[in-house]
Amino acid sequence: GWSSVTGGCVSRLSVGRSANASQNPVRKNHACEACGKAFRDVYHLNRHRLSHSDEKPYSCPICQQRFKRKDRMSYHVRSHQGGVEKPYVCPHCAKGFSRPDHLNSHVRQVHSTERPFKCETCESAFATRDRLRAHMIRHEEKVPCHICGKLLSAAYISDHMRVHNQSQHHSCHLCNRSFTTLTYLRIHAQKHHGQEWKESVLVCQLCGVHCKTPIQLQGHMGTHNNSAVGTAAPPPSSKV
């Protein structure tokens, strides 16, 4: 049957759906290592992880403002072109926003007197956890990434290192460190090995053949890897 509620009606079907939804909530099995917040899939977890990183790889081509996510940058570019409507107006300062959650975030950060997130190092307090996290960076010394040399706060260095650890397959033949790209390998070698790397990187250590580029040397080394086991390498003076 139907039951009247303030002029409307609620069906048993809708009540049943609500009950099923509460009995079978969406499983969130993917937890953030940094804060413990859980997500229903890896895609949303990876998007969330960006909030813990201070890297902003996407730049607005008009005003150079930087963003962590490409979709946020694209959305921002539309604001320069007058393509974003802002129907949600702040009652305190009349600033407009395109989404209600953006308005709510603005009110909390700018106009709210509540500051529940307190810094343990000084007496500062903040309206949001993100503001506190950004503030905490001031209390931390920045440390260099040992792979690419970029300076980051200790709180974000582990997130940054994940980029390098995803697929390390370019090895430095002088110290055996591995890198995700040949560019990172060159940066490391020039910084830590200098002239020694410049002179030795183009010479095959097995047969003494000189190559014009690191790529050529890498290809040449493959000929040794494919050689039969036990084959003696020619002396350094040999021609190949």
Number of structural domains found in the chain: 2
Tell me if 217 is assigned to some domain: yes
Residue 136 pLDDT greater than 60, yes or no: yes
Q: What is the CATH number of the domain that holds 73?
A: 3.30.160.60
First vs last C-alpha separation in the chain = 91
Tell me if 15 is assigned to some domain: no
> Among residues 80, 104, 123, which one ends one of the domains?
80
> Among residues 58, 80, 102, which one ends one of the domains?
80
pLDDT per residue over 109-126, tens digit each? 777 777 788 888 787 888
Q: Buried b / exposed e across 141-153, counting CB within 10 Å, b at 16+?
A: eeeeeebbeeebb
Tell me if 188 is assigned to some domain: yes
Q: What is the pLDDT of residue 196?
A: 67
- Residue at token pair 């539309």: 78
Measure the CA–CA gap between 213 and 168, rounded to whole angstroms: 21
Q: Which domain holds residue 196?
A: 170-221
Tell me if 145 is assigned to some domain: no
Tell me if 194 is assigned to some domain: yes
pLDDT per residue over 66-86, tens digit each? 887 788 888 777 777 666 677
Listed range (83-87, 129-133, 163-167, 236-240) with the worst mean pLDDT: 236-240
Q: What is the CATH number of the domain that holds 180?
A: 3.30.160
Tell me if 163 is assigned to some domain: no
C-alpha distances out from residue 83 to 74, 86, 98, 106, 198, Å: 11, 10, 11, 21, 52
Tell me if 156 is assigned to some domain: no
Tell me if 90 is assigned to some domain: no
